[in-house]
Structure formats: C-alpha cells, structure tokens
Amino acid sequence: MMEKLKNNIKDYFSTGPKVIFIVILLCAGITIGFYSTRKTVYVYIDGKENKIVTYKNTYKKALAANKINVGPKDKTTPSLDSRVNNGDKINIKRAVNVEVAVDGKQLKVLSAEDTIEKMFDAENIVVDEYDKVSPSKQTTLKDGIKVAITRVKIDLVKQTQVLDFAIVQKPDDNMEKGMTKLLQDGQKGEKQITTKIVYEDGKEIARQVVSEVVTKHPVQKIIAAGTLGVLNLSRGGSKVLYTKNLRVRATAYCAAETGGGRTASGTRPIRNANGYSTIAVDPRVIPLGTKVYVEGYGYAIAEDTGGAIKGNVIDLYFDSTSDMYNWGSRYVNVYILK
C-alpha cells in the first residue's frame, strides 16, 4: 500500500507542470478572445460625437447596450443590422416634429428627412404640379416647423357666345325717304371663349379669358333705304320724287325778249302748263338738261342760260309779257326731280 502511494505521488509530480501549462494557455486564450471582441465605436447623433465601447456584433445591440435609443423614424447610416468593427462610425439623424396643414387637416409627422420635399415623398403626401407649399419644398426640416399645402386647381371652361349681326343701310336713289327694302337677311354668328379659372383650396381666386375664337362669322343684314324726297302736289295726286331741293330767286322772261331764238341747249323755249317748260339756270348749280319742279310755276327743264343768271338764280320762260310781269321776281323752292 505504501508502495502504491509512492508511485502515485511520483506520477503526479512528473505530469503536473504539463497540466499547469495547459491551464495557463486556456486562460490566456479566453482572455485574448474576450479582448478581441471589445470594440470602440464612434456614434454621431445629429453631428455630435459619442464614443462607446461594445462587445456586441451589430449596431442595434451595441447602441442598446449603451442605452442609446433609436426611434422608428430616426435614420442611421449604416443600418442597425450592420456588423460592428473596431473604430467604425455610425450616424444617427433624429426625426423632428413637423406640422403639415393640408386638405383641411393638421398632420403631425415625425421625419428625419433633409428637406420638406423628401419628407413628402417619405410620408406619401402627394403634392400636385400647381399646388403651393409654404415654406418652399427645398427648405431644410427642423423641429417644430409648420408646413402649409394649398391645393391649386386650374379649370379651362369653354363657352359659346352668340354674335349679333350688323345692320347696314344702303342708300337707294329709286325709293322715297322712309321706305326700306330688305336686300339680305342677317344671320347671327358664334364665338368660343375659353376662360382659365384658378381655385385655391376649392375657392375661386382668379379667372382670365385666354382665347376667343370666332367659329361662325355673322352675316350682315342689308337694307336699302330710300333717299328721294316726296312732293305732294295735290290731294290724291301722284307723288313727285326729287333728289334735293334748292331755295332760289326766280325771275321771268318772255318770247318777246328771245325774238324767237333758241336756248343754250339748241331748243326753242316753251311754256307748257301741262308739261315741261323752259327755264334758264346757272349750269354750275343746276346742270343743263335737269328736270325740275318750280314752286308756283310747274315742271320745267333747265335748257337755257343767261348773263344775269348766276348762283341760286333761275329765269322762268313765259309766252306773254303780261305773264312775265305778273311773275316778277320772287324766292321759290326748286325740286330736282329723279
């Protein structure tokens, strides 16, 4: 028995240093492995640097272990699921509170986007081409910012407007004054008017005519209007039409003065109570050959001239001296006949 104990002690002291060495190696390996998982990470929160030490293998675990909370709308670069290496950097952009007034509502939004425009995209807030945004979409987001969206709608409204036709009167030298005759009936036209109407949040704020196009031109109504004056010589008698009338001084001459000669027109002067008599005129006022009606004398033709007949003066022919003297000289109306 004593011999067996001696042998055991001998074996122990012969293998002991080896065991101790192995244990030491294991402890050293564990220690080296432990320290090899220790990492220093630089965390930038809205640009401010924070240095943390972690043994975790992802940013999510590393930040949680260091009590750095990341909200659901905060943005991280790289992502929280990325693997952590010693000396790495992670940027955290905190979401800010944004108020958006749109469509009659006040939306409370948390966003870590850089600008209002990017926030709209991230939050699926639709802004149409003509909508107004205040402040502008390029404005940088900051905590407490208030954004207003004004919905702008533009309508183009087309309307048809009736165009009245013009009434045109044409003088007719074959009808008496006051009489008319329809030469062409009028037709109304049409014009298409396009108006731009601007609405902001459903309320009209402006309207402007942007085009006017005549789609159907109106047709003039043309009426012939008589220009001739009417001289009623007797009740129930025929009407005498004249183009104009003159106020003249009328003198008289007779056959004895002409000596049976001829007029300036080459005719012999006559006095015809039932037809046309001969009168002398100033051709600059009443052209030769003009038929007239002389108040108190009757119908006549301008066939003669005279040295004393100048301007608004006429000389009436009579067959006898007594008739000539009875007429004398007086002012009368002369009607130039049609």
Quickly list DSSP for 169-233.
EEEEEEEETT-EEEEE--B-EEEEEEEEEEEETTEEEEEEEEEEEEEE--B-EEEEEEEEEEEE-
Q: Are residues 142 and 198 in the same domain?
A: no
Domain hosting residue 127, numbered range? 96-150
Domain presence at residue 30: no
How many structural domains comprise the chain?
Answer: 4
Q: Are residues 198 and 290 in the same domain?
A: no
Q: Are residues 295 and 246 in the same domain?
A: yes
User: What is the model's pLDDT at position 35?
Assistant: 45
Cα separation of 122 and 126, whole Å? Answer: 10
- Please determine, for residue 11, whether its predicted confidence score (pLDDT) is greater than 70: no
Q: Are residues 45 and 134 in the same domain?
A: no
Mean pLDDT of the chain: 89
**Which residue would you say has higher pLDDT here, 10 or 174?**
174
- Please determine, for residue 5, whether its predicted confidence score (pLDDT) is greater than 70: no
Q: Which of 235, 238, 240 is nearest to 176 (CA)?
A: 240
**Which residue would you say has higher pLDDT here, 176 or 31?**
176
Q: Are residues 322 and 265 in the same domain?
A: yes
Contact 220, 165 (CB under 8 A): yes
User: What is the model's pLDDT at position 257?
Assistant: 73
- Please determine, for residue 31, whether its predicted confidence score (pLDDT) is greater than 90: no
User: What is the model's pLDDT at position 33?
Assistant: 43
pLDDT tens-place string over residues 45-63: 989 999 999 999 999 999 9
What's 280's domain CATH number? 2.40.40.10
User: What is the model's pLDDT at position 20?
Assistant: 57
Q: Are residues 307 and 239 in the same domain?
A: yes
Of the residues 224, 251, 268, the one at which a domain ends: 224
Q: Are residues 186 and 254 in the same domain?
A: no
User: What is the model's pLDDT at position 287?
Assistant: 97
Contact 225, 180 (CB under 8 A): yes
pLDDT tens-place string over residues 178-232: 899 999 999 999 999 999 999 999 999 999 999 999 999 999 999 999 999 998 8
Q: Are residues 138 and 60 in the same domain?
A: no
Work out the average pLDDT over 81-85: 95
Q: For residue 117, what pLDDT band results from cuts at 50, 70 and 90?
A: very high
Contact 277, 297 (CB under 8 A): yes
User: What is the model's pLDDT at position 9?
Assistant: 43
Q: Are residues 88 and 127 in the same domain?
A: no
- Please determine, for residue 236, whether its predicted confidence score (pLDDT) is greater than 70: no
User: What is the model's pLDDT at position 256?
Assistant: 74
Domain presence at residue 155: no
User: What is the model's pLDDT at position 23?
Assistant: 46
330: left (phi over 0), alpha (psi -120 to 50) or beta: beta
User: What is the model's pLDDT at position 16?
Assistant: 54
User: What is the model's pLDDT at position 255?
Assistant: 79
- Please determine, for residue 25, whether its predicted confidence score (pLDDT) is greater than 60: no
Domain presence at residue 1: no
